[in-house]
Structure 1
């Protein structure tokens, strides 16, 4: 018989609500699994890493975060012909990105193992939303897993009613709240802030963050307590040390050329092309020079980026002129061209420097409202904002497979 750890449940008071973490009951084959509960809203968060790291040096953290709502959580059956959930709704994509932004910065350097975090809403009481609290269970799942991660991180949604800050306001309270912010943090400080308000003074925004700090610390310490009781041993990450001779070789090879390029104030495309050629030259040279070291290209990349940052910063501060020729107090030229498209209801091209946006407005009737069939119930949206980021806008070649996560919300 497999010796699974006994279920463990820990609870903490956050604001006027009780939040609990539970592990050991389900999803036992995942790296870490935690159920968070607030009221009768429950989210299962799991964290799993691949069996071994990628063979190539890391370019970014290979992490995917998914937030999924299932209609059974609210006692409903999905609409449509197939009666099954389809692609992620806008809210699910935004909630996934919230979790990603909170946990991604805390992975160690050179971490290169495919990792997936899934937040699954299993029960929804119609009162307490699951999107923000799921960040806490995702963090807890990473904490007790074998995945190397420098957490914990915690999150609260904060509102303001009758002059008082409210932690994790109910859906009804959010309708009349003067502000709504999502605040994530660690024991060391605030990590991420997102939200909006109705023209609140800056002191209130600072006050909201100060009010959130002790609540975030409670949730962080609760996760640490859970890790101490049921946490697995972490997988070791061998971060390569930068060899002194490799660092010196890269510096000799690229520093003078970087200074020459940046000092000449080239056009953006020309600068990027020139820097890329130097970068590839350095990577290739170090790979050939140290064939027995699989991390040589990673070391060269790290040294190159450090040199580029140092030279770029020094030139800008010394000359008070940026690489595109603008002085430090100058802004890029701004141009607005209204009525760009003749047959649309409204259009304009906004240009700032080399960044452009073609904006089109279309007016419809009440029949054009978008029906949203969500856990919260059926609603209709009369304002729709669609953002597109085509690959040609940055001079790249990519297949168009519909809007990506960055284009949602």
Structure 2
């Protein structure tokens, strides 16, 4: 076995990149170790181009139970479908590396991160850095490297923690968990879970994280210079002059047709279809190129109008939020709680269900062994929400990602089990979509929680910010982006929080990076929008209802000494089973002697 190792001191520990011939058929590979957590990342580019109109990138994050020294608990004793955590980790890598590829690539590229061992250190950051190293040192054309760091902060402390371990992140006094990715002094991806932290704290965390990222970037640069391969060429996809000529017929009405004050994409699609049909009449093989040219012209127009004229497609001001509507309850008395939230053409319905402690989800993964999860948020996005037909049922990565983001935003205000012992499940249905249904889900879910009488710490609202970017001196920040601005803009910056502070952030971009000062400006505008949305929500329901729904179960609790738990349970659970059979209640006994009776 051939082997080369390179190391970097980071956050008081050593990160080691090992290059071997273990996965020698891959275009690029690296084994990255930090503490006792080890991840193998491979990158492969296919041999042939595909006839498609999008860039075919796939990212997989593989969790293996052997990495934790365990055997899977499933009947076949093999790993099954990816866990939600694995899917979210794969999305983090995908969202970080995708903007740095040339979108003209039509050859399959697959990045696979396989966790070989896991200890106290987070494999997500290693997955991002490993993907960057594997791509940057391979022959795959890519605009990296890019790096990742996790930054934590405890309540009452001004110090930021670099790469906090799992146990630190789980502590109740940890008020900030930031996963930051970037390159060349700019941010490329953000994930934040927080407990109502201020925008000023976030700005400080961004700055601290970028300092660490620059160290990793320098390290990766040295690796590329030492072992990097010559990159493959990308076929030229220059637009045919005949297509540009055909567009001249639409030039005079292009702007007026797009900027007619209409929300959504229908009018844009109508003009695009008309142009493509015109091109196909004389160039039947060039429909995809015609569509590409139309998209390019549209993005140029939208960027110019936003930056130079402060104009948006639907006629709103740059900081203007679409019309709002909030409703708490009123759907059916059968539901334990419900909320409906409208923001323009985005309409979300959320339903609350309360259950006993035994209804908690049992998580069994390489990161969490037999852990009970008592708060869940699930998100659905049916095809009719965008006026399309399609397959119903099942999950996709987007649904899991959006559900997890809203769950993260709401987790900070969920009452602790000692106060409210119920298992809480929220389901958000995106019934109509024109931009940021995930943030709509946060708002609708808050309304459902309050309608159901859940004593949350504070209402949570979310907003999606966008940017049209030309240079550090020429850009425009957009509040409450709708569909065309999400699709053709340069940033999707989702920020959720209470009136007191931020609880969750997710940043995706289509640029090489966004400077930190722009993000801080975006945070300020997001706060203004969030407060306006909260006003509308609090008009619908000023506070959580004083009592639970009559349809919700009732829970009483008591506590016995730990040494008497066995007496309460009885031989083989005899006493508990008898109580449950005779009364219909559910009895849950915790390890500390707390007993919950649900009925």
Change (3 A) 1:328 1:212: closer
Q: Distance in 1 between matches of 2:101 and 2:354?
A: 46
Q: Map of 1:5-404 to 2, 5 A cutoff? A: 6-56=2-52, 59-125=53-119, 127-161=120-154, 162-176=157-171, 177-244=174-241, 246-247=243-244, 249-266=245-262, 268=264, 270-285=266-281, 287-288=283-284, 297=287, 299-312=289-302, 322-324=312-314, 326=316, 330-337=320-327, 338-376=329-367, 377-404=369-396
1:199 is displaced (CA, Å) by: 3.0
Compute the TM-score of the two structures, normalised by the length of structure 1.
Answer: 0.88
Q: Distance in 2 between matches of 1:329 and 1:142?
A: 39
Q: Distance in 2 between matches of 1:110 and 1:85?
A: 36
1:174 is displaced (CA, Å) by: 1.3
1:55 is displaced (CA, Å) by: 3.0
- Provide, for residues 45-64 of structure 1, a one-character-per-residue CA deviation record: whole Å limited to 9, x for no partner: 011111111134xx332101
Stretch of structure 1 that moved more, 311-320 or 351-360: 311-320
1:311 is displaced (CA, Å) by: 4.3
Q: Distance in 2 between matches of 1:191 and 1:328?
A: 23
Secondary structure of residue in 1 paired with 2:32: strand
Change (3 A) 1:326 1:195: closer
Q: Distance in 2 between matches of 1:135 and 1:318?
A: 36
Compute the TM-score of the two structures, normalised by the length of structure 2.
Answer: 0.62
Q: Distance in 1 between matches of 2:208 and 2:306?
A: 39
Q: Distance in 2 between matches of 1:318 and 1:10?
A: 48
Stretch of structure 1 that moved more, 326-335 or 29-38: 326-335
Q: Distance in 2 between matches of 1:213 and 1:320?
A: 31
Change (3 A) 1:134 1:390: same
- Provide, for residues 78-123 of structure 1, a one-character-per-residue CA deviation record: whole Å limited to 9, x for no partner: 1122211111111111100000011001112411111110110011
1:301 is displaced (CA, Å) by: 3.3
Q: Distance in 2 between matches of 1:199 and 1:327?
A: 28
- Provide, for residues 338-389 of structure 1, a one-character-per-residue CA deviation record: whole Å limited to 9, x for no partner: 2213421111222222211110000000110100012232210001110011
Q: Distance in 2 between matches of 1:11 and 1:83?
A: 36
Q: Distance in 2 between matches of 1:191 and 1:312?
A: 22
RMSD (Å) for aligned C-alpha atoms? 2.5
Change (3 A) 1:321 1:40: closer
Do 2:325 and 2:341's aligned partners in 1 also have CA atoms closer than 8 Å?
A: yes
Q: Distance in 2 between matches of 1:273 and 1:98?
A: 30
Aligned length: 395
Unaligned regions of 5+ residues in structure 2, if any?
A: 405-599
Do 2:258 and 2:268's aligned partners in 1 also have CA atoms closer than 8 Å?
A: no
Do 2:39 and 2:116's aligned partners in 1 also have CA atoms closer than 8 Å?
A: yes
Change (3 A) 1:61 1:366: same
Q: Distance in 2 between matches of 1:36 and 1:328?
A: 44
Unaligned regions of 5+ residues in structure 1, if any?
A: none
Do 1:121 and 1:130's aligned partners in 2 also have CA atoms closer than 8 Å?
A: yes
Secondary structure of residue in 2 paired with 1:50: strand
Q: Distance in 2 between matches of 1:99 and 1:199?
A: 26
Change (3 A) 1:285 1:386: same
Q: Distance in 1 between matches of 2:208 and 2:262?
A: 48
1:268 is displaced (CA, Å) by: 4.1
Do 1:263 and 1:315's aligned partners in 2 also have CA atoms closer than 8 Å?
A: no
Q: Distance in 2 between matches of 1:265 and 1:330?
A: 14
2:575 paired residue number: none
Stretch of structure 1 that moved more, 229-238 or 264-273: 264-273
Secondary structure of residue in 2 paired with 1:253: helix
- Provide, for residues 282-304 of structure 1, a one-character-per-residue CA deviation record: whole Å limited to 9, x for no partner: 5425735xx7xxxx555533432
Secondary structure of residue in 2 paired with 1:252: helix
Do 1:32 and 1:47's aligned partners in 2 also have CA atoms closer than 8 Å?
A: yes
Stretch of structure 1 that moved more, 204-213 or 360-369: 204-213
2:452 paired residue number: none
Q: Distance in 1 between matches of 2:127 and 2:307?
A: 43
Higher relative strand content: 2
Secondary structure of residue in 2 paired with 1:131: helix
2:557 paired residue number: none
Change (3 A) 1:223 1:353: same
